[in-house]
Structure 1
Amino acid sequence: MIRTVLGELRPDGLGICDAHDHLFFRSVMLRGQELDDVDAAVAEVGEFAAAGGQAIVQWTPYGLGRRAEELPGISRQTGVSLIAATGLHRAEHYPDGFVEKVWPRLAEVFHDELTVGIGNSSVRAGLIKVAGGFHRLDDHAQYVMRAAAEAHHATGAPIAIHHELGSAADAVLDLLVDTLVVPPESVILGHLNRFPDARAHLDLARRGAWLAFDGPSRANNATDPHLLECLAGLIDAGYGDRLLLGGDTTTAKARGATGEGPGMSFLLTTLRPRIIREFGADTADAIFRRNPARAFAW
């Protein structure tokens, strides 16, 4: 099953999916660009649905303004399945002292949000989102990933990773898979487009994890010209069945419906047709439909 904000869903019912995005997001590093407007979120999801989108995975973790209580209503209003996350981001995204308060009970928080509900809502998370550091895993990252692994082993929930500038994915697999015995098919490596090293991507693919590439991001647009080249190298090597694609809209300015774009719908109005032309309709169907249905299933 896949756990959405409206309950459990059969994987074959997920449909065309934005595998990494944000409807609500509040970070001290992005002051003034918070995603916290419900009407804007509805407009963005509606635009995605109009382009053929059927599911969105929100990677916003604990303490960053997830607005979990609003997600079921948005899902019902738009007809788009939504998946919420538990987990913890890098410490610099939180106000001073916030991380220290939750630190001693981190694995318990993850477990409770996966099995009971997020905050005071009955919405249960469908994945665990954590973060690595730049080319290394510092003490914060290692502790959080150990808590994520504990919650995974208790529930079976997938673990999705923010890689700082796309780096340290190999170190993440060394820890989560080799040391903490999380199955590689339960690990989703995010932001790999931000480190467009084809050889490194092939090494990661051989280890069995999911490889997630973000659509155009205003903060990382220098990687956009490398996206199809990165996908091509993996598809040609036989790893088209391990690829995921998401928009990663993290600021109000980046929304398509109410900002300057490109927004979530860009995945389907622009990138999907290009992928069909370059790699064929079957590969596009794998990236946008079949692969997410497997990656986010428990």
Structure 2
Amino acid sequence: MTGAAVRTVLGDIAPEELGVCDAHDHLFIGSPALPGQELDDTGAALSELQAFAALGGRAVVQWTPWGMRRRTEELPGLSRRTGVHLVSATGMHQAKHYDERVLERVYGGLPGLFVRELTGGPVRAGMIKVAGAYHRLDDHARHVLAAAAEAHHATDAPIGVHLEAGTAALDVLHLLCDTHGVPARRVILGHLHRFPDARIHRQAAETGCFLAFDGPSRPHHGTDWRLLDSLAVLAEAGHARQILLGGDTVTPAARAGADGPGMPFLLGGLRPRIERELGPDVASAIFTGNPARAFAARWRQP
């Protein structure tokens, strides 16, 4: 993408500067639907980034959207202290993560809200994060996806999609791409490993979208043992340049500092296996080349 840039919390950078990337994770997040599971400790976030950087990690994309305690103002300092590029998100999650009064206040102006966070303010977002429902798109998801599409057309920002339990991937692509005209290459489907249907993965990949496999080795993900098989099927079908990996750390117990896998597991645990079983070229694409293309945009200022 000539003239493209990745929008980090410290400013825009050339895609090739992004480096080894955790393409979907969280340093800070909180929701009334998940009481007691907040990520809100700056020191723990710093330690996690330092451990990731020590293994060669150079970038982390925080998919925490608007209204979920992103602590956006702390991200520039963490980036400077660790040397890790950080990409922040705007967007909106499922309705259950918000107070109804908050939704009522912002619901009619979501496209403008997303655009403002992508293009203005002291810390600009570099992507839009939205969410589907389990095996379907409810009215809330359709509304937010439409707003994300409008914001994309105004800015060229990439759209990352939380697929609930990995489902409804093709419905999301149909709505975003066929109905709202978002190019598939600007869409990142998240959590595909939670619904390891190789046929659906291939069908989605054939559209040209990016496929994110995120949250490996979290205790409640019973499909993690199929991760390498899922990646191998896609790579063998010619889609290695569309695969992304992320840790999707969403609870304090999942962090490396609390004896969870955390961000470092991607590079200390998964990367050696991918290099050994799928080859160094595929590993390089997944961790470096693909994120550089997925999160780069030809940014427009409306």
TM-score bin (small chain): over 0.9
Q: TM-score, normalised by structure 1?
A: 0.97
In 1: Cα distance, 2:170 partner to 2:79 partner: 35
Deviation at 1:54, TM superposition (A): 0.2
Note if contact 2:191-2:215 (Cα within 8 Å) is conserved in structure 1.
no
Q: CA deviation at 1:104?
A: 1.3
Written as runs of structure 1 = structure 2, the 5 A alignment for 1:208-223 is 208-218=208-218, 220-223=220-223
TM superposition shift of 1:199: 0.8
Corresponding position of 1:63: 67
Residues 194 and 221 in structure 2, CA contact (< 8 A), matched pair in contact too: no
What percent of counterpart residues are identical? Answer: 60
1:217 deviates by 4.9
The aligned amino acid for 2:129 is K
Spell out the pairing of 1:1-298 with structure 2 (5 A cutoff). 1-117=5-121, 122-218=122-218, 220-257=220-257, 259-298=258-297
Take 2:138 and 2:252, find their aligned partners in 1: how far apart are those partners? 30
1:219 Cα deviation from its structure 2 partner: 5.5
How far apart in 2 are the matches of 1:217 and 1:276?
Answer: 18
Q: What's the CA shift string for 1:17-70, capped at 9, x where partnerless?
A: 000000000011221110011111101101100111000000000000000110
C-alpha displacement of 1:135:
0.9
C-alpha contact 2:131 2:163 (8 A) present in aligned 1:
yes
User: How far apart, in 2, do the equivalents of 1:37 and 1:76 lie?
Assistant: 17
Distance 1:104 1:217 in 2: 38
2:220, 2:184 → 1: CA distance? 27
Aligned equivalents of 2:153 and 2:36: distance in 1? Answer: 38
Q: Distance in 2 between matches of 1:98 and 1:170?
A: 30
Give 4+ residue runs of structure 1 displaced > 6 Å after superposition.
none
Q: Deviations over 1:246-287 (max 9, x none)?
A: 000011111112x23110000000000000000111110000
- Any unmatched runs of 5+ in structure 2? 298-302
Distance in 2 separating the partners of 1:30 and 1:44? 21
Supply the distance in 2 between the matched residues of 1:155 and 1:229 (Cα, whole angstroms): 36
- For 1:229 and 1:67, the matched residues in 2 are separated by 36
SS at match of 1:52: coil
Structure 1 gap segments, 5+ residues each = none
Does the 8 A contact of 1:243 with 1:291 survive in 2? yes
Q: Is the 8 A contact 1:255 1:262 kept in 2?
A: yes
RMSD: 0.9
User: Is the 1:217–1:248 Cα contact (8 Å) retained in structure 2?
Assistant: no
Letter in 1 for 2:198: A
Q: Identify the residue that residue 300 of structure 2 maps to in structure 1.
A: none
Task: Label 1:87 to 1:217 Cα distance change in 2 as closer, same or farther (>3 A).
Answer: farther
**Native 8 Å contact 2:241 2:286 kept in 1:** yes
Superposed displacement of residue 216, structure 1 = 1.8
